[in-house]
Amino acid sequence: MLGIGLSIVSLARFQFAMTTVFHFFFVPFSIGMGVLVAVMETIYAVKKDKVYLDMAKFWGKIFLLSFAVGIVTGIIQEFQFGMNWSEYSRFMGDVFGAPLAIEALLAFFIESVFIGIWMFTWDRFKPGLHAFMIWMTAIGTMLSAIWILAANSFMQHPTGFKINNATGRIQLTDFGAVVANPQLWRVFPHVILAAILTAGTVIAGMSAWGLLRKKKDENHFFKTSLRFGLWTSLIFAILSAGAGDLQTQQIIKDQPMKFAATEGIYKDTKDPAPWTVVELINSKDRTASHKVEIPAVLSLLAYHKTSGAVKGMDTVNKELHAKYDKQFGKDMDYYVPPKTLFWSFRVMTGIDALIMLIALFGVIWSRKKKDTIENKKWFMVIVGLAIWIPFIGNSAGWFITEFGRYPWIVYGLFTIADAVSPTSTVGTLLFSNIVYFLLFTLLGGVMIWYSRQTLHHGPYYEMEDSKQNVDPFAKEAFVK
């Protein structure tokens, strides 16, 4: 019985992880691309430099491909709470539904209506008005991020609620507190900045591949795009690191277990706390060895000063037992998966630093006077390969956030094991997992394939294509 119960929970968790990670490949990329395409079109509207129109059109195609996969996989998320996590929906309905419904009303409608207009009105609207449509879409995507993150932040750090004693469910008492959740206003900038970073890195990377083909007519286009992408990557890699630092401050306060695991600390550190670059974690014995440490840096990261010890997981575990044993019993395991968190953090920050470095050199080597970047083939290949790493970084970031919530689905209030649908069976979950997996493989593969093909054709492909397609009896065919 326990064995089956466990696998229902783990299958449901696996499904949530798979669907959200896949969805979140496309979400940040689409948010970032929306903003960047809007910027390109605005530059065109102001400066009337045609290369920016070509850029908006070309990168707009990539944006639309990503957007399409993003929205269809987004519907899964909304249905999933009811399908796999009905007990969670019952418990959390009073708080969780509102941001979701507001997200649909406020954000999804703006997004979906204005992207429809934008797609079909290139030839009808003046550049400024047309750019307005993509700005509305971009704003819609960002508004949507606020509301879904408001819901997520409540799960990390519940605010503005009470437990209804009659029903045992959560009850909203202060909507303002849900919206003003300090977690929300630290995670939101981090997500948006990382989204723009993602799009910038992809634009730079694809432009690098485009430049390597050395087609003369495309050189100016890809060179401008490359610099645009590199500058974006550089600026937003720095900004998102800063936003991440702010978020860390909040996590230390609200979720010390998450922070201790992120840094792989079992025993309380000395004062000032050293930062562990790498270590070997034994999560069974709850020890860590082979540490490579830098003195005092963790104090600096955690408290922005050179002193102060950091609590280890053992201490936090004791505190959590003292706090929650009455309600949840003595058998709870409050340790979060330390290896996942420790390495996810290093992967995420490492990728951010790497992009910063690549972008910095790229910006320097692509200056107008020092036009040497095309001749550094090895560097262009690195920029091209860097397309993939922000996606890994984004997923790693969410691994920290979500695995660091363990064993809670709503922090301190409701456990993951209690949240799953009583109606779920191993059979249906296995079936849906396989269906989603196959579907995602197909969608992801096709999306990448068509993006690659779009790049292969280059920015001026469509125009040649439409020249051939001119109706032989139309007026244009007779005009020389």
The interface with another protein within residues 413-452 (CB under 8 A) comprises: 421-424, 428, 431-432, 435, 439, 443, 446, 450
Distances (CA, A) of 347 to 115, 203, 289: 34, 22, 20
Kindly state the helix (H) or strand (E) to which residue 285 belongs, with its residue range.
none
Nearer to another protein, 164 or 307 (CB): 164
Classify residue 297 as exposed, middle or buried by CB count within 10 Å of its CB (0-12, 13-18, 19+).
middle
Residues in 154-213 at the binding interface with another protein, rule: CB under 8 A: 164, 171-173, 175
Q: What count of other Cβ atoms lies within 10 Å of the Cβ of residue 418? A: 15
Classify residue 55 as exposed, middle or buried by CB count within 10 Å of its CB (0-12, 13-18, 19+).
buried
* Secondary structure class of 294 (helix, strand, coil): strand
**Does residue 384 contact residue 209 with C-beta atoms inside 8 Å?**
yes
Handedness of CA 105, 82, 399, 383 (dihedral sign): negative
434 half-sphere exposure, CB direction, 13 A CA radius: 5
Nearer to another protein, 77 or 349 (CB): 77
Nearer to another protein, 60 or 362 (CB): 60
* Secondary structure class of 408 (helix, strand, coil): strand
Token pair in block for residue 252: 């230390």
Nearer to another protein, 141 or 240 (CB): 141
* Secondary structure class of 162 (helix, strand, coil): strand
As measured in angstroms, the least distance from the Cβ of 336 to another protein is: 27
As measured in angstroms, the least distance from the Cβ of 346 to another protein is: 35
Confirm or reject binding of residue 76 to another protein (CB under 8 A).
Answer: yes
Nearer to another protein, 375 or 469 (CB): 469
Nearer to another protein, 160 or 337 (CB): 160
As measured in angstroms, the least distance from the Cβ of 163 to another protein is: 12
d(CA 248, CA 264): 15
Nearer to another protein, 12 or 310 (CB): 12
Candidate ranges 24-32, 65-73, 219-227, 314-322; the one touching another protein (CB under 8 A):
65-73
Candidate ranges 68-76, 196-204, 287-295, 326-334; the one touching another protein (CB under 8 A):
68-76
Confirm or reject binding of residue 84 to another protein (CB under 8 A).
Answer: yes
Q: 227-250 b/e with 16+ CB inside 10 Å = b?
A: bbbbbbbbbbbbbbbebbeebbbb
How many residues interact with another protein (rule CB under 8 A)?
A: 73
DSSP 108: I
d(CA 437, CA 366): 41
Nearer to another protein, 297 or 443 (CB): 443
As measured in angstroms, the least distance from the Cβ of 194 to another protein is: 24
As measured in angstroms, the least distance from the Cβ of 305 to another protein is: 41
Residues in 96-125 at the binding interface with another protein, rule: CB under 8 A: 96-98, 100-106, 108-117, 119-123
From candidates 466, 467, 475, 478, binder to another protein by CB under 8 A: 466
As measured in angstroms, the least distance from the Cβ of 108 to another protein is: 5
From candidates 35, 36, 56, 95, binder to another protein by CB under 8 A: 95
From candidates 65, 131, 237, 380, binder to another protein by CB under 8 A: 65
